[in-house]
Structure 1
Amino acid sequence: MTQTDASFLPFGFQYYRSPTPFRDQWERDLKNIADKGFNCVKYWVQWRASVPEENRYEFGDIAELMDLAERFGLKVVLNVIFDVAPAWFYKKYPDSKMIAADGSVVEPRALSYRQIGGAPGPCYHHGQAQAEKDRFLEAAVLAFKDHPALWVWDLWNEPELTTGIKRSLTFDNQVCYCEHSLTAFGGWLEQKYGTLEAFNEKWQRNYADWSEVEPPRGQAVFNDLVDWRLFMSDALTDDLIRRVDVVKRHDLVHQVMVHTVPAPIFNLITAGSDDFKLAEPCDLFGNSLGSSAWSADLLLSAAKGKKVINSEIHALPGHTALKPKPLDFRELKRHLLIPLARGITGYLFWQYRPEVLGHEAPAWGSTYLDGSETPWLRDMAKLNGMMQRNRELLCDASRPSDGMAILISPENQIVNFSVYAHLDTYNDSVQGAHKLMHDLNYKVEFIHEGDLSKEMLSRYRCLWMPYPLYMSSAASNTIREWVGAGGTLISECSFGAIQAENGTHSYEVPGYGFGEVFGVREKWIHSAEHLDHSYHNLTLRSQELIPLAIRPEGWENAKSRLERSGSKEGPKEALLGTAGYGSYYQSEVELAEGTRVLADFAKDGSPALAVAAYGKGKAVWIGTLLAAAYWKMGHASTAETLGSLLREELGLRPYVGVTGGCIRADLSVGKDGASERSLLFVHNWGETSEEAEIALPLACAYAEPWFADGKEAARLDPARSDRLAVRLEAGDIQVYELHGVEKR
């Protein structure tokens, strides 16, 4: 299958991870997979399993499985696994083992998900290890590049520095502190800074030679940890680039990919995984844990238009002590249709047969232990049939952009860990910003700070900056120019409080002169623990919920909000009430002339949410970590306030509108804009049955549901052919094919 076959929609299973399933099950299983209409399987090609002795390569098991796939018409993803180094390799190169910050050696071992041993593999800066990995990959490519069953090379299963061994988020779990890495770090710094003078200014040190550099080992200053973790993240990315180069030297026909575990599970501290950097050298991209809106939107943004597949759908997780929960049809629909609504067009379940070896057994299976059919396997086949019948539309269509972006900042993530020794502030703020806009029915996209440019920002109407504690002059200047040209900036407190140039605190906050942009200057920032403890909530780490109250006279559209609510009271009375909740911090500010305050902190009436004009654009300042509180607690009042702000005050309306209920609606149209080729995905993400009205950007004659149980759940407004009333049970998803549509 070549790179030009864009309409292939893979739907199948991870099948083989040596030594299981055993050989006597292969033919029966692969025939059953094909007979049920599935079209794709994945096999692991493992370094330790395939190279039992130096210079001896054994691919007989994979060759037999490839031939069976060809016989049954299945396409194959070959997932090449390097993090199980052969025993002979460690014996020959004992200095290849990684060393953690506490001095402990990461010894090779078997894991519940690397049952053959050899994890986590060698240090990424060990020259002989890199050469041996190249030879293994080259042998695999030469063995299978011409096999007709091959679809794609997956060159890394969940990129991570230590394959989960040192995944827990602590300073001591960072790697690698071996001599190979320390030498490489000095070279990396010299290439980045050029001179010791520039480097010493950034770190605020006085080193006289690159060999003197001490990598950080605990909680101290900020910029040394930023460089140290970016260095190890680059090592991960460079390793992938090296693998891609090996494949491309011998195989220019088949695509290469990698599949990641999106943040916050994998991070830049102990995992080193940066989705945006890892996607760049690949032809297509994939992920594990891809069934949520968060991970789907993040991976699609990282892929930048490349095809994305869910490489491992974890629908039946468990282990020997905790047996998996049976998979019902509604949950299965969520695993598939949430990412499908966003444009992910490929689905591989982990896995076909349940595990039988190790701690992950007897879980994860789409069949029973003996390989017989489960109810959920039948449901998978049903959904696959629906998708394949609509394959060309699904592979061609997407939801148009709403122009709403969230800034992803690797450096800010690292500094948050350096400050707090955890990532809750950063991760909760980023995920909360996404959840807020998702729940308000916007298509949410992400911009990596490394891609921040005038050209990139010109694609968006609005940029949300979650807790932007650590900023650089270059990024600030780019954002300032974009706002002045007409962009809308939304930022939480502490914008640029720590300066990237030398790691020091800014004398004024917002930093980099952004007090002029936001129309506020932070005089003081109160930690929530020091405020009134009456709002304490134990579900939030070391923080208080901080209530906000509407300031009615601040809203330009108070009258329209009043009319929409149907209230006969005056604007002041109708709009008084909770505006939502913040967390962690409460800022105390001075306001510039012309700054409008939309909400106050309820405790003392000081400004909490303000908007100011800057050039042709607008800047919204939020004096607390509002998004983090929403991620944890999901208050409806927060969503209502932000929805009014975005739609009415800022004029940022979503492509598809939804009124009422916890309903999400996504309209997929063809890339050519042909609205007659449209599918509407409707998801009730709430916990009760919900009704809502969907405002479509087109008119249609009728909406035909994919699932028969939804025939009475949607009806067009007789007076408005672009209004659809829907009702869905809690957690359910329906797909409607729109007929007789007319573009507006």
Structure 2
Amino acid sequence: MSEAGFIPFGFQYYRSPTPYRDQWEEDLRNLSQMGFNCVKFWVQWRASHPAENAFVFDDIRELMDIAGRNGLKVVLNTLFDVAPAWFYKKYPDSKMITSDGTVIEPRALSYRQIGGAPGPCYHHAPGQLEKDKFLAEAVKAFRDHPALWVWDLWNEPELTAGIKRELSFDNQVCYCEHSLQAFGGWLEHKYGTLEALNYKWQRTYQDWDEIEPPRGQAVFNDMVDWRLFMSDALTDDLKCRIAVVKQLDTVHPVMVHTVPSPIFNLITAGSDDFKLAEPCDLFGNSLGSSAWSADLLISAAKGKPIINSEIHALPGNTALKPQKLSWQELKKHILIPLARGISGFLFWQYRPEVLGHEAPAWGSTYLDGSETPWLREMASLNQTIQANRNPLLCSKRPSDGIAILFSSENQIANFSVYAHLDTYTDSVQGAHKLLHDLNYKVEFIHDHDISKEELAKYKCLWMPYPLYLNKQMTDVIREWVSEGGIVLSECSFGALQAEDGTHSYQVPGYGFDEVFGIRETWIHSIENLDHSYHNVTVQSKQKIPLNSALGNDPAQGSYYKTEIELLRDVRVAATFSEDSSAAVTVADYGKGKAVWIGTLLGASYWQEEDRNTLEFLREIMEKELGLEPYVKVHGGQARADVLEWKHDGEEGAFLFVHNTTNRDTDFTVSLPFAYDGVTPWFPEGAHALAGNDVTDSIRLSLKAGDIQVFQLHEPFIR
């Protein structure tokens, strides 16, 4: 970050026109006096550029001055999805068009109250120039202000600012002439020749001008390219913004904050966290309080500093009022990401909203700006974190060497197949939850990052429902397994081939029948067509029981039951209860191992959190594969994370423990080191300690849903 030893802890404060000017001085003074150190102000294109030749930053400048007087660091968040009225009048051809021909007219939204959403098409060249011009003026206005900390150049990147976020073929953008022309150029750059494109899409185009973007459910490769093209448009727009800032301001870092999958997807939102993080100095997100979103964000950031830019602790609207924020819920919002190494926290927002449908929710204060109990608790929690700032900032969370494949192309292909993303997102989130609940550190690797060098960082790769794959990727994975890696894959591995979009004649595809030692001969879905004109949505209304060969009670699969032929001597770890056919197999391949699962195990666990499924996977991971978590939990369902640190000649560790159940739980945490003493962060934490007398483990008793932090003192004996 731009200042050593800085953990931002504060609030989103200003989204024009609220809070109103007569509240600024008192609010910013109060939050500074309570110990908070950071605020965020929106710099909105429409609000600050009301006429073509007028730039009005008086409100932002006054706020910056007040913040500076009160010792507050400022995040300036630039907003371009609120285009000025004059812009639309001058450039009527800038409006985005959906697949069904709907022109998206500018409008106000509950979260864009000043109007102008969603802004111009990303391929409208004059629109890009106008955005660059506005950003340059904003940078010149504030680059030398002493209160400025960081430029946040995009608030929750997505294609239509939420207007057409609902997942459907008709809601895709953009089908205007600007985008269609740009798509042709993007394809020509990617493929080089029409022959290569025609092979990939199975078409007969004779000219680049003939290319038609997909509009519905048909084949797969055109849809994959079409959505990757629009996702690239978001990333390219961010790169343009960063270039403008870096040209004018070489001092302050730049960042973006996103909304994690599956809330934002690659179909209608176009947001790819891994791509968006790459050009930034810092990275952040909204809704980052869950283990899923925190782990995904950290993997996308690849070691860059991270802040939770919008903690949504008090959501609501005029119809659905917010709930009061309890101490326990507040701790979860901060401590779950902190346990993973995220070290910055901004709540949405300081005052409750008073304008539009978001009123009267989201407030850390009461409507009149007075203190709430949870505001005082936020201040107390911040005080504790700042007291441990230096060791926290130099702490590390050891890896367990396990990665989940996060595939943009497989996500798009799944949508093209199912017209929804449940199979993909349930499988990926379920894989994460299974590993998380077994207390592994869960990491993700993007499909575009698969390489020999990247895979060398991991012992095990989980491939959730890998329906759509390509030869280049699978060749790398195959070599990695042969050299000692462990691949764990659900059914239909490479059934759809990226090279030409066809279904493989043999599954697993790309020669992985040799790796897994099996061949899929038939796959049964829970739902079937009774005739070709009957519309049936693939769901998972019933579970598929599996009998473990490892002595566990029956686990559960979902969506599909696969029949296989065993090609060589493999170990059958589970059978389908219905007919005792092989359901999970383990094969040796070279120096590595390959686990095949003939159903969607992750999706099943995501939907029902079946305890037997969890225990079955524990047996597979620990006994079959020899993969144990760095920190282990025994005797109760809880999560434990360790951050280890060395600072100024001292060393120690922070232990975060979370009772993830709705009942009081006793459990023991086993550590890979011995410690000399333990100190709870919070007074109630002392009651959670259960007479510990063994220095490489700690016995705890936590209330339902509670989360606690303990400092473990040196010396360490490993």
Q: TM-score range by the shorter chain?
A: over 0.9
Q: Paired residue for 1:362?
A: 360
From 186, 189, 199, the counterpart of 1:188: 186
Counterpart of 1:361, as a letter, is A
Tell me whether 1:330 sits opposite 2:328 in the alignment.
yes
- Contact 2:690 2:701 (C-alpha < 8 Å) held by counterparts: no
Distance 2:105 2:717 in 1: 62
Counterpart of 1:55, as a letter, is N
Counterpart of 1:633, as a letter, is E
- Contact 1:675 1:698 (C-alpha < 8 Å) held by counterparts: no
Distance 1:328 1:576 in 2: 39
SS across alignment from 1:336: helix
- Contact 1:137 1:246 (C-alpha < 8 Å) held by counterparts: yes
Q: Paired residue for 1:509?
A: 507
Distance 2:61 2:538 in 1: 52
From 476, 479, 489, the counterpart of 1:478: 476
Superposed counterparts of 1:399-438, under 5 Å: 399-438=397-436
Q: Paired residue for 1:151?
A: 149
How far the C-alpha of 1:727 sits from its partner, in A, is 1.0
Q: Paired residue for 1:649?
A: 624
SS across alignment from 1:130: helix
Q: Using a 3 Å threshold, how does the CA distance of structure 1 residues 665 and 344 change in structure 2: closer, same or farther? A: same
Q: Paired residue for 2:467?
A: 469
Distance 1:379 1:386 in 2: 11
How far the C-alpha of 1:674 sits from its partner, in A, is 8.3
Distance 2:464 2:356 in 1: 41
How far the C-alpha of 1:399 sits from its partner, in A, is 1.0
* Gap runs ≥5 in structure 2: 530-536
- Contact 2:523 2:562 (C-alpha < 8 Å) held by counterparts: yes
Distance 1:130 1:710 in 2: 53
Counterpart of 2:502, as a letter, is T
Counterpart of 2:605, as a letter, is Y
Q: Paired residue for 2:614?
A: 639
* 1:108-127 alpha-carbon deviations (Å, 9 max, x no partner): 00000000000000000001
Percent identity reads 69
Q: Paired residue for 1:577?
A: 553
How far the C-alpha of 1:543 sits from its partner, in A, is 3.6
Distance 1:488 1:408 in 2: 17
Tell me whether 1:740 sits opposite 2:714 in the alignment.
yes
- Contact 1:31 1:72 (C-alpha < 8 Å) held by counterparts: yes
TM value normalised by structure 1 = 0.94
* 1:236-269 alpha-carbon deviations (Å, 9 max, x no partner): 0000000000000010100000000010000000
Q: CA RMSD in A?
A: 1.4
How far the C-alpha of 1:593 sits from its partner, in A, is 2.2
Distance 2:586 2:261 in 1: 31
Q: Using a 3 Å threshold, how does the CA distance of structure 1 residues 458 and 205 change in structure 2: closer, same or farther? A: same
Tell me whether 1:586 sits opposite 2:561 in the alignment.
yes
How far the C-alpha of 1:701 sits from its partner, in A, is 2.4
Q: Using a 3 Å threshold, how does the CA distance of structure 1 residues 291 and 150 change in structure 2: closer, same or farther? A: same
- Contact 1:50 1:58 (C-alpha < 8 Å) held by counterparts: yes
Q: Count the aligned residue pairs.
A: 711
How far the C-alpha of 1:4 sits from its partner, in A, is 4.7
Tell me whether 1:28 sits opposite 2:26 in the alignment.
yes
Q: Paired residue for 2:47?
A: 49
- Contact 1:698 1:741 (C-alpha < 8 Å) held by counterparts: no
- Contact 2:552 2:616 (C-alpha < 8 Å) held by counterparts: no
Q: Using a 3 Å threshold, how does the CA distance of structure 1 residues 509 and 175 change in structure 2: closer, same or farther? A: same
SS across alignment from 1:34: helix
Q: Paired residue for 1:560?
A: none
How far the C-alpha of 1:704 sits from its partner, in A, is 1.1
Counterpart of 2:253, as a letter, is Q
Distance 1:495 1:189 in 2: 27
How far the C-alpha of 1:519 sits from its partner, in A, is 1.0
Q: Paired residue for 1:667?
A: 642
* 1:142-195 alpha-carbon deviations (Å, 9 max, x no partner): 000000000000000000000000000000000000000000000000000000
Superposed counterparts of 1:299-698, under 5 Å: 299-529=297-527, 541-552=539-550, 575=551, 577-578=553-554, 580-670=555-645, 676-698=651-673
Q: Paired residue for 2:177?
A: 179
How far the C-alpha of 1:703 sits from its partner, in A, is 1.5
How far the C-alpha of 1:592 sits from its partner, in A, is 2.3
Superposed counterparts of 1:30-179, under 5 Å: 30-179=28-177
Counterpart of 1:360, as a letter, is E
- Contact 2:164 2:268 (C-alpha < 8 Å) held by counterparts: yes
Distance 1:179 1:742 in 2: 65
Distance 2:110 2:539 in 1: 31
- Contact 1:549 1:599 (C-alpha < 8 Å) held by counterparts: yes
Q: Paired residue for 1:566?
A: none
Tell me whether 1:722 sits opposite 2:669 in the alignment.
no
Distance 2:41 2:692 in 1: 50
How far the C-alpha of 1:743 sits from its partner, in A, is 3.1
How far the C-alpha of 1:6 sits from its partner, in A, is 3.5
Q: Paired residue for 1:558?
A: none
Single out whichever of 721-730 and 28-37 deviates more from structure 2.
Answer: 721-730
Q: Paired residue for 1:5?
A: 3
How far the C-alpha of 1:544 sits from its partner, in A, is 2.1
How far the C-alpha of 1:712 sits from its partner, in A, is 2.8
Distance 1:650 1:542 in 2: 29
Distance 2:679 2:401 in 1: 29
Distance 1:360 1:280 in 2: 32
Distance 2:648 2:177 in 1: 56
Q: Using a 3 Å threshold, how does the CA distance of structure 1 residues 530 and 214 change in structure 2: closer, same or farther? A: closer
Distance 2:680 2:642 in 1: 14
SS across alignment from 2:651: coil
Q: Using a 3 Å threshold, how does the CA distance of structure 1 residues 82 and 71 change in structure 2: closer, same or farther? A: same
How far the C-alpha of 1:541 sits from its partner, in A, is 3.2
- Contact 2:390 2:647 (C-alpha < 8 Å) held by counterparts: no
Distance 2:400 2:208 in 1: 47
Distance 2:450 2:585 in 1: 25
From 659, 671, 686, the counterpart of 1:711: 686
SS across alignment from 2:339: helix
SS across alignment from 2:574: strand
Distance 2:409 2:449 in 1: 13
Q: Paired residue for 1:565?
A: none
How far the C-alpha of 1:673 sits from its partner, in A, is 13
Q: Paired residue for 2:237?
A: 239
Q: Paired residue for 1:563?
A: none
How far the C-alpha of 1:675 sits from its partner, in A, is 8.2
SS across alignment from 2:415: helix
How far the C-alpha of 1:716 sits from its partner, in A, is 5.9
Counterpart of 1:239, as a letter, is D
How far the C-alpha of 1:530 sits from its partner, in A, is 5.5
From 198, 205, 209, the counterpart of 1:200: 198
Distance 2:528 2:224 in 1: 29
Q: Paired residue for 2:218?
A: 220
Q: Paired residue for 2:532?
A: none
SS across alignment from 1:677: strand
Distance 2:61 2:528 in 1: 65
Distance 1:171 1:653 in 2: 43
- Contact 1:716 1:723 (C-alpha < 8 Å) held by counterparts: no
Distance 2:287 2:41 in 1: 19
Single out whichever of 663-672 and 152-161 deviates more from structure 2.
Answer: 663-672
